Amino acid sequence: MKRIIFLVFSISTVLYLNAQETDSLLAKANIFYAEGKYQDVIDTYENILKLGYESPELYYNLGNTYYKQNVIAQTILNYEKALQLAPNDEDVNYNLQLTNRLVVDKIVVLPVFFVTGWVRNLRNLFTSDFWAIISIISFLLTLLFISFYLYSRNLGFKKLSFWFGFFIVIISIISFIFSYQQKQKILTGDTAIVMSSSVTVKSSPDASGTDLFVIHEGTKVWVEDKISEWNEIKLSDGSKGWLKVNDIEEI
């Protein structure tokens, strides 16, 4: 029992100290930003990330700071990371769209079936955690309506409880799926940003492969496969090819 108490106390102490250090670094970053010391701001934010702290605000501010330094690829990368945690944030979306105009490659996006687009927009309304909360609450409400259906003696109320329960359990299932999909977007790292100023995409994972096309820093790609030091990537227009792992950074 003493060991458990000591372990809990140790973990709590570490978390408290990390929180204190994070708050201190955030305060320093704000001072540096006000003074126009943007590289110091970037270094401070990177130190905060090394402590394991993440938030959409942190990535958003880091993106803004890189923008001040005119580092387009890092700006887009951090805005994209902020969107993973807050997919419906208007400020992040606006700044990302604005910065994407500076990217050399103007790639045509393949049209999406309207139902797919509608579902994607609906899923992006909330974060993974929020969808999980909706799913849990909906499930509990479903259990409540099931109990009403089983124990009520009023036929009309039993029917009403059945249909309400059926409708809410559907919401619970959909919310769970959305929560899972949002979480997978963060964990799988299937998208990336080109960090090199320009890179030639090859037809095969080999330096002697045929040159297919050239893409530039800030372009968003989807990682399809990995072989040794090569990634197979796909662009939003459907084009595919291979490039070196160190030419991109996963979101």
Domain range list for the chain: 2-100, 114-188, 191-250
Rounded to 5 degrees, φ, ψ at 74 are -70, -35
What mean pLDDT is predicted for residues 24-44?
90
The superfamily in CATH containing domain 191-250 is SH3 Domains (2.30.30.40)
- Asked if residue 230 has pLDDT above 90, the reply is yes
pLDDT band at 12 (very low <50, low <70, confident <90, very high): very low
Please report the pLDDT score of residue 8 as a whole number.
35
Measured distance CA(193)–CA(233) in Å, rounded: 11
Instruction: Give me the CATH code for the 2-100 domain, please.
Output: 1.25.40.10
Please report the pLDDT score of residue 190 as a whole number.
85
What mean pLDDT is predicted for residues 134-152?
92
Alpha helices in 2-127 (DSSP H): 2-34, 38-50, 56-68, 72-85, 90-100, 114-123
Contact 188, 207 (CB under 8 A): no
Q: Which of 28-42, 56-70, 97-111 has the lowest mean pLDDT?
A: 97-111
Q: Which of 39-43, 51-55, 162-166, 176-180 has the lowest mean pLDDT?
A: 51-55
Beta bridge partners of 230: 227, 244
Rounded to 5 degrees, φ, ψ at 193 are -115, 135
| Residue of higher predicted confidence among 201 and 27 | 201
- In this chain, the answer to whether the domains covering 2-100 and 191-250 adopt an identical fold is no
pLDDT band at 4 (very low <50, low <70, confident <90, very high): very low
Please report the pLDDT score of residue 5 as a whole number.
39
Please report the pLDDT score of residue 112 as a whole number.
65
Please report the pLDDT score of residue 194 as a whole number.
96
Place of tokens 């090394």: 50
Tokens of 8: 């809990």
| Residue of higher predicted confidence among 185 and 226 | 226
pLDDT averaged over every residue in the chain = 86
Closest CA to 201 of 235, 165, 233, 242: 242
What mean pLDDT is predicted for residues 152-171?
90
